[in-house]
Amino acid sequence: MSIFEGTGSALVGIFSLVMTLVCYWGAKYAYAKFKFWWLSPIMLAPLGIISLVLLLDIPLPSYFHFSHLLTLMLTPAVIAFAVPIYRERHLIAKYPLTLSIGVIFGLLLGLISSWGLSKLVSLPPELAQSVLVRFVSTPFAMEATSSFGGVPELTAMLVLLTGVLGMIICEPIFRLAKINTSLGKGAALGASAHGVGAAKASEIGEEEGVVASLTMIFTGIAMVLTAPLFSSLFV
């Protein structure tokens, strides 16, 4: 029996929205203080929210009554990406080849590896189509996945998992592959692990973070623009 039984859906929705924000800011504070990867907001906040929803037996329609507004903010977030592009235009002019190579290879390798994974483990069609754009940031991935026949909500979850995995394994891979330059680390993280990778790159160094952010943005834009073309090749 839910403790919210008999409570209006609007009141439960407000509680759910506040709970979501508290979980996010709490996880952000914990990660800033202790720096453990499993305390990062992208890991801890969803786990905390899911746990509270189950513990308090909050009906999902009531949870999404107001918290869906946070999802709607993804659309203006795409427009906001113009700000770092303008702010770091000098870096774009300084390293056009590095950024271009990062975007092109990140896009192609991301698609090929995702397609190969879907064939290797024989994923169901719905999941296989949703996994193809897992390597770009959520706003771009949710827009591009429709061209492949994927499910936006499922794609968003796969994007989350990809980012977390990239954050965990990036440093051992850098050591193994002997990637020591800030440009190499930033481009790799931005092209493969999107926003989580950019956050991790910022922890490594300022230039790494900037390069990762720019690579992430341009890879996402390229994915949205080329999705109709690639859908005919990979689906």
pLDDT in tens, 199-233: 899 889 988 998 999 999 999 999 999 999 999 88
Q: What is the pLDDT of residue 187?
A: 93
Secondary structure, 3-state, 168-234: HHHHHHHHHHCCCCHHHHHHHHHHHHHHHHHHHHHHHCHHHHHHHHHHHHHHHHHHHHHHHHHHHHH
User: Residue 2's pLDDT is what?
Assistant: 57
Res 8 pLDDT > 70: no
% of the chain residues with pLDDT over 90: 49
In the prediction, which pLDDT does 148 show?
93
